[in-house]
Amino acid sequence: MASKYHWVINRDLITDPEHDVDEAGTHGPSGTELNAEQIEKHPLGKAFLMRDADGETYYEGIYVGPDDETLFAPLDDFGMPNAGCTEIAYRNALGAWEWL
């Protein structure tokens, strides 16, 4: 069955290159038909940010999918379990970040 949505982390803002794994290129959900590059270049891709409860931005990425509850998928699938992210934002019609 085809995935309803796709996402990719294209910038890891919390990585310490000497100690941590750079999560850039991580994509999902598990079993997605698109690779990281296809998601990044997708014409319907929407940029997102994920941050923790203290307001520190951890990741930047691209989401491809419907404008419904799956907008939270990158946070639920990856940001929260991997780094404790609690919020996700997308650009609104005026180009400003809007936290969901």
Residue 1 has pLDDT above 60, yes or no: no
Give the global pTM: 0.91
> What confidence score (pLDDT) does residue 15 get?
79
CA-nearest of 83, 85, 81 to 20 is 83
Q: Report the distance separating Cα 98 and Cα 100, nearest Å.
A: 6
Q: Report the distance separating Cα 92 and Cα 100, nearest Å.
A: 11
Helix (H, G, I), strand (E, B) or coil at 83: helix
pLDDT 10s digits, 30-81: 889 999 999 999 999 999 999 999 999 999 999 999 999 999 999 999 999 9
Q: Report the distance separating Cα 38 and Cα 48, nearest Å.
A: 16
pLDDT 10s digits, 8-38: 999 999 877 666 788 999 999 988 999 999 9
Joined together, the tokens standing for residue 30 give: 């598990």
> What confidence score (pLDDT) does residue 97 get?
96
Q: Report the distance separating Cα 58 and Cα 13, nearest Å.
A: 5
